Amino acid sequence: MGILYLKIVVPITPVISAETLLIAAKDDIIINPNDIKKLSQGIHNGQISTIDAAGHNFEKTQNQTDLYLAIYNFLQ
């Protein structure tokens, strides 16, 4: 985890009380999916959705469909 993440993001997670969807891309080389899991654990109503075979930008059509479905299901 980067220093910015540790100093800014982690301290604010306990004050987030709204239902929150965090989306991780399984093959993301910029943001490690394990960091997203740790972040979700710090948010009271945090949910995580991991998109398989997806990189940071969800560049494939199937990745985008899976992304949209994750958001849709969260909003239901």
User: CA 44 to CA 27: how far, in whole Å?
Assistant: 26
8 A C-beta contact, residue 56 and residue 28: yes
- Give the predicted TM-score (pTM) of the model: 0.76
> 3-state DSSP helix/strand/coil percent for the chain, to nearest 5?
50, 15, 35
Tell me the pLDDT tens digit for each residue of 26-69.
888 888 888 888 888 888 888 999 998 888 888 787 788 999 99
Higher pLDDT, 20 or 53: 20
What are the residue boundaries of the structural domains of the chain, listed by start?
A: 17-75
